[in-house]
Amino acid sequence: MTSIDTIARDLPPSPLGSAAPQGLSLEGAGVWLVVPCFKVTAHILNVIAKAPPWVEGIVCVDDACPDGSGDFIEARNTDPRVVVVRLPENQGVGGATLAGYREAVRRGGRVLVKVDGDDQMDLDHCAYLVAPILLGEADYAKGNRFTSISHLRTMPGIRVFGNAVLSFAAKVSTGYWNIFDPTNGYTAIEAHVATLVLEKRVSKRFFFETDLLYHLGTLRAVVRDVPMPARYADEVSNIRIGRIIGPFALKHLRNFAQRVIGQYFVRDFNAASLELMFGALSVLFGVGYALSYIAHRVPGQAASAGVVMMAALPIILGAQLLLQAMNFDVLNVPSRPIHPYLRAVRRLDGEARA
């Protein structure tokens, strides 16, 4: 029997300082793998074969794969834990993952681990993703390949740079300033939280992982990064960088605007709300005053000290207020997991209906 105590020793310490409960085990924990399948027939059987014995079920989602992944798995797989789900139309990695979540939850899964079917993800690290959820320290855990330089040795340089840029953009748009590597698809989520996510309008294509973080933020779910190395072999990426830069930027901007309005002006109103409001107004006033002066000034006439201060001072003050609001946002990362509460509500509701 695999003990959580061994796994927990290598994880970051709990913010509450709690130790792993004695006797807590991975076996019987209700862990299910969700594997989106699209053009992965060369690797999928290896992924299934490497699934740890304590995994209770494996949902392989045939995302309208032109290679017939579902038929291929059913014809050659010998693992009785495997369940094949077929989607009539291609829905992208996000749509396939959500379909897998839905099936795993329906079959009684309690912790759902999403694994790509191209054998990039080392299933020996699966326990490290599951442990924070079982210990009640996180609602969602994800891999982070940037915790050590040694973890990046096999990652192409262009991907290192691209992931670094996307990571900062994701921090701003999702509010999870404590995480990195947002596009890492090796994740684990608690089933009750996954059920709430299924009700959201999560992006179903390549923006899925980042958009999922945004929606988890609206739920105030706790997200934990788990260190792990990058793995690259002969798999072929379906992402075309030139095609996603523009759409990704627009989606980040949309999520950021929605998050700020919802978090600081709809669901709550606090010091950061005032700092954001007056900071933005001050910057806009300073910039507007400067532009107005430039448009109407007499050619060759130097601006007086008063004019310069009327433009510069509001911009400086506004920038300080916005930085203070940003600092508040960084410190406002969710810290209390929501799934124990959701489980308690479900249990009490069941008892009341019985």
Same domain, yes or no: 234 and 338: no
The domain boundary, picked from 241, 261, 281, lies at 261
More confident residue, 239 or 160: 160
Of 100, 109, 37, whose CA–CA distance to 74 is shortest? Answer: 37
Domain count of the chain? 2
Say whether both 240 and 317 belong to one domain.
no
Kindly state the DSSP code that residue 153 receives in the 8-state scheme. Answer: T
My answer on whether 244 and 285 are in the same domain is no
- The answer to which of 100-114, 150-164, 277-291, 309-323 has the lowest mean pLDDT is 150-164
Residue pLDDT, tens place only, 312-353? 999 999 999 999 999 999 999 999 999 999 999 888 888 888
More confident: 347 or 275: 275
Distances (CA, A) of 198 to 99, 100, 212, 328, 340: 9, 11, 10, 30, 18
Query: What's the pLDDT tens digit per position in 34-91?
Result: 999 999 999 999 999 999 999 999 999 999 999 899 999 999 999 999 999 999 999 9
Task: Check pLDDT > 70 for residue 241.
Answer: no
For the cut 60, the answer to whether the pLDDT of residue 236 exceeds it is no
Q: Given a cut of 50, is residue 20 above it in pLDDT?
A: no
| Separation between Cα atoms, residue 352 and residue 354, nearest integer Å | 6
Confidence (pLDDT) at 233: 54
Q: Within this chain, do residues 26 and 110 fall inside the same structural domain, yes or no? A: yes
Range of the domain at 109: 4-261
pTM to 2 decimal places = 0.85
Top pLDDT among 308 and 4 is at: 308
Sequence-ordered strand ranges (E) for 145-212: 187-190
Return the pLDDT at 5.
41
Distance of CA 351 to the CA centre of its chain: 33
At 105, list the tokens. 């939850």
Task: Note the pLDDT of residue 245.
Answer: 72
Give the pLDDT score at 244: 63
* pLDDT, tens only, 174-224: 999 999 988 888 999 999 999 999 999 999 888 899 999 999 999 999 999
Residue with token string 């320290």: 137
pLDDT over 90 (residue 300): no
Confidence of residue 17 (pLDDT cuts 50, 70, 90): very low
The band of 249, judged by pLDDT with boundaries at 50, 70 and 90, is: confident
- Considering the domain architecture, whether residues 14 and 131 belong to the same structural domain is answered as yes
Domain final residue, candidates 261, 290, 311: 261
Per-chain mean pLDDT for the chain: 86
208-218 helix and 157-174 helix, angle to the nearest 10 degrees: 20
The reply to whether 252 and 294 lie within a common domain is no
Are 237 and 286 within one domain?
no
Residues 351 and 225 in one domain: no
Using alpha carbons, select from 144, 37, 42, 40 the residue that is nearest to residue 100: 37
CA–CA separation, 174 and 211 (whole Å): 8
Give the integer Cα–Cα distance in Å for 322 and 335: 23
Domain with residue 199: its CATH number is: 3.90.550.10
Q: Residue 261: pLDDT above 60?
A: yes
Per-residue pLDDT, 22: 55
Please identify, among 261, 290, 318, the residue that sits at the C-terminal boundary of a domain.
261
Q: Verify that 278 and 247 share a domain, yes or no.
A: no
Residues 132 and 49 placed together within one structural domain of the fold: yes
